[in-house]
Structure 1
Amino acid sequence: MRLFPALFLFFSISVYTQNTLSLEEGSASPRADLSQISWMEGHWRGEAFGGITEEIWSPPMGGSMMFSFKLVVEGAVSFYELGHIRQLDDTLVFELKHFHGDLKGWEEKEEVQRFKLVKTEGNRLYFEGFTFEKVSGDEINIYASIQQEDGTQEEVTFNYKRPTE
């Protein structure tokens, strides 16, 4: 019976890490355009990192969809992200910058976090380390592969719903 727990752990880990992907070195991103992710438009709210998360996405305009992210823990802003998914030639790229609650940047002035498109599949768009999933018209998931302080990667699920208030 020792085999069952080992198999369960193996399949749990396999399923757990299937939500985010990486682009193989030397591979090009597939063709895509903003119409394939325009369903992200709107106001979304969820819970993660011990607080309330909020994302607001603009409609496609000028070759991009702009977003803002906010994490509020114990009534105070922990950090923000600002960024966009933009059309780059015949594909998409996801780019962002982080800011502390006082708007002091994490990255250097000219530095931008950039994630290339890996693939599109049904209701999902896979960027390097991030996956955007449409669950329904009022619910989405964003899966993020986040590097921990010890160097390991952890996949975090952000489940968002449209606020009703």
Structure 2
Amino acid sequence: MRLFFFFSVLFVQSLVAQNTVSFEEGTTSPEATLLDVEWMTGHWKGEAFGGITEEIWSPPLGGSMMFSFKLVVNGMVNFYELGHIKEVGGTLLLQLKHFGGDLKGWEEKNDTVDFKLVKLEPNKVFFDDFTLERISDQEINLYVVVGDDEGNQEEVQFNYKRQ
């Protein structure tokens, strides 16, 4: 019975996160540069969370690629994210901060949400529970594991088209 429970848990976890992987403590991030994610550069729009999503990614400059994210629901900004992917110690680190529609920060002043690089594939970049996928020059997917106040987690897909 325990073996059945164990495999049931593994099966459910695989359904929850099919396109993301978690960074395991004690491992190191692979070597990478901004050239590995330069294809993210541009203006992207899609739909998620019951609204319109927009991301704008700058080209590599100064060791980072800056991005902004906006979610608009019923004609009103729900929240923003501001962040970057930066080169650190021969690898990449994705960092971001959240802001409400009124630009009040969610994280403490000096805190960021950090995603360590886990692995690279030709058209996919896997950060800790956050994956960037290049479908074509005109389409990308982002997959993010999000949680709620009860500790439940699910993988959310954002499909974007180049603007």
Q: TM-score when scaled to structure 1?
A: 0.89
**Unaligned 5+ runs, structure 2:** 1-9
Structure 1 alignment gaps of length 5 or more: 1-9
Q: Which stretches of structure 1, 4 residues or more, deviate above 4 A after TM superposition?
A: 10-13
Given residue 21 of structure 2, which amino acid in structure 1 is its aligned partner? L
2:53 match: 53
Equivalent-residue separation in structure 1 for 2:150 and 2:89 (angstroms): 37
State the identity as a percent.
62
Quick one: distance in 2 between partners of 1:118 and 1:147? 20
| Distance in 1 (alpha carbons) for counterparts of 2:96 and 2:110 | 12
* 2:134 aligned with 1:134: yes
TM-score by length of 2: 0.91
Deviation at 1:129, TM superposition (A): 0.9
Q: Distance in 2 between matches of 1:135 and 1:59?
A: 19
Residue 89 (structure 1) shift: 1.4
Which residue number in structure 2 is paired with residue 65 of structure 1? 65
Summarize deviations over 1:68-114 as a string: whole Å, max 9, x none.
00000000000000000000010000000000001000000011111
The separation in 1 between residues aligned to 2:115 and 2:13, in whole angstroms, is 24
2:4 paired residue number: none
Q: Deviation of residue 67 (structure 1)? A: 0.2
How far apart are 1:56 and its partner, in Å?
0.1
Quote the residue 1:81 is aligned against.
81
Matched letter for residue 61 of structure 1: L
Give the aligned partner of residue 124 of structure 1: 124
Separation (CA, whole Å) in 2 of partners of 1:69 and 1:86:
17
Deviation at 1:16, TM superposition (A): 5.2
**CA–CA distance in structure 2, aligned partners of residues 148 and 20 of structure 1:** 18
Aligned residue number for residue 3 of structure 1? none
CA distance 1:123–1:15, shift in 2 (3 Å): farther
CA-atom RMSD in angstroms = 1.4
Show the counterpart of 1:33. 33
Partner of 2:7: none
Shift of 1:28: 0.6
CA gap 1:129/1:79 in 2 versus in 1, 3 angstroms: same
> Structure 2: which amino acid aligns with 1:143?
Y
Q: What residue in structure 1 maps to residue 147 of structure 2?
A: 147
Partners of 1:12 and 1:132 in 2: how far apart?
23
